[in-house]
Amino acid sequence: MRKILLSMLLTLSFFSSCKKEEQDELDLLTRNGWVLISAKITSNANGDLITDIMKDDRSTCLGNAFTYQFNRNGTYTTSSSGPLCDMAAGTQPFSYSSRTLTFDGKSHTITTLTKGELIFTYTISSTQIATYKFVNKEFVDIRTTSNLVIK
């Protein structure tokens, strides 16, 4: 009987720790906005760079302080200081589970989530993968529309 009770207790503690870890990650994700600092498309086969979105066109929305703000209520907003970027404004739904962030009908795999950094990938096709790197808004000073200074 003690073995069964001990087994049940260990199982419950395992599942509660998983839920706590996911909750902690959700807290990190929704704490502040995330400012995009890198967006690259690479080859799935060998990891070679195909396109550096941030470097190739700094005038786009992504190149001008593009920010995600994920909210605890399961919504997110975007903002950017680029021209015509207000067209994408508004509140949209997102979901988060087991390091998978789903929004815009696409699943993104979170590879890094800390207080200061968020990195997620999105598989574009069997040959291409996009990697997006963000810095927590708390650690960024936006001096101009195209230059970010890490605090």
Domain boundaries, the chain: 2-150
Mean pLDDT computed over 121-125: 93
Provide the whole-model pTM. 0.76
Which pLDDT does position 82 carry in this prediction?
A: 73
Residue 88: per-residue pLDDT:
61
* C-beta of residue 95 within 8 angstroms of C-beta of residue 104: no
- Architecture of 2-150 per CATH? Beta Barrel (2.40)
Q: Are 43 and 9 in contact (CB under 8 A)?
A: no
Longest CA pairwise span in the chain (Å):
68
Looking only at the bridges linking them, the beta strands covering 117-123 and 34-43 are unpaired
Residue 99 has pLDDT above 60, yes or no: yes
- Taking residues 121-136, report their average pLDDT: 93
Q: What percent of the chain has pLDDT over 70?
A: 71
Query: In this model, does residue 48 exceed pLDDT 70?
Result: yes
Q: What is the pLDDT of residue 23?
A: 64
State yes or no: pLDDT of 100 exceeds 60: yes
What per-residue confidence (pLDDT) applies to 34? 95
Mean pLDDT of the chain: 79
Q: Are 148 and 142 in contact (CB under 8 A)?
A: yes
Q: What is the pLDDT of residue 59?
A: 63
